[in-house]
Amino acid sequence: MTCPEPDPRAHCQEIVRHLATVVFPWDTTRALELALFRTFASVRIGGLLHATGEFEARTAKRYDDTDLLISEIIENGLDSARGSQAIARMNELHARFRISNEDFLYVLSTFVFEPIRWNERFGWRRMSEAEKLAWFWFWRQLGERMLIRDIPDSLADFETYSRVYELANFRFTQANQRVALATRELFAGWFPAWLRPLVRSSIHALLDAPLRSAFGLPSAPRWLVWTVQQALRWRARALRWLPRRRRPKLRTQIPRADYPQGYRIESLGPPPSG
């Protein structure tokens, strides 16, 4: 007799922490990177990020700050002391700018759907329906704490919103492209110089056509698209045979070049202009 799965809504924080730190830590990181990348294709979001200059001048630090804030919330919980502090810091940073509720909703939707889509393509096992719902409810509850309005009550309705938003707001601008290229170069910079051209093309291989078009990026050769996808699927098959991870992999514990002595949540993010 199997035990029933926990209620996705009531236990979403525990379920998401387990998925992100124990079951799919590497996949979750890659999917959330793609989610962040996807938001740059919106004319307003890409334009705002370009106007601040932060994602182009201090790409690695902005990546670390975003990663740490999200990781604090996932690893510690929405209502924990550190999770609440991270949410307050995000709200403080966002309050400096005029950001529409529609844009907030879209960014939130990418954090819901990119990990689910990645899992369907490259996960070593598929998320259960209960896990997908828990993932949705976690981010929905985060959105409520960020005072985002009109968050849909179902995965299907939220996905419809996300698709409609992209049709209306994805188009090429130089601002979008510059933010995307700066972020792509950050990812490529994690590899040896001789490998970076292949890494850049491999990133293109993971992007869909509307996203590449909004950034003015070329499509990857078909052989490379096939190779990248097959490599990720072979990785998934190999993981099925390996011993299961038992201890969480915490991104808040990863050494960061910008924070050699550690960090304080209230200091994450860019300082006030001026």
Q: Residue 78: which domain range?
A: 12-242
Distances (CA, A) of 262 to 25, 47, 74, 175: 22, 31, 19, 32
Q: Is residue 266 part of a domain?
A: no
pTM of the model: 0.93
Query: What's the rounded Cα separation, in Å, for the pair 78 and 63?
Result: 21
pLDDT at residue 220, rounded to an integer: 94
Q: What is the pLDDT of residues 156-180, one digit of tens each?
A: 999 999 999 999 999 999 999 999 9
Q: Is residue 117 part of a domain?
A: yes
- Which SS3 state, helix, strand or coil, does residue 244 take? coil
Q: Is residue 262 part of a domain?
A: no
Q: Is residue 271 part of a domain?
A: no
Q: Is residue 140 part of a domain?
A: yes
Buried b (16+ CB within 10 A) or exposed e, 31-54: bbbbbbbbbbbbbebbebbbeeeb
Structural domain count, the chain: 1
Q: Is residue 257 part of a domain?
A: no
Q: What is the pLDDT of residues 80-119, one digit of tens each?
A: 999 999 999 999 999 988 999 999 999 999 999 999 999 9
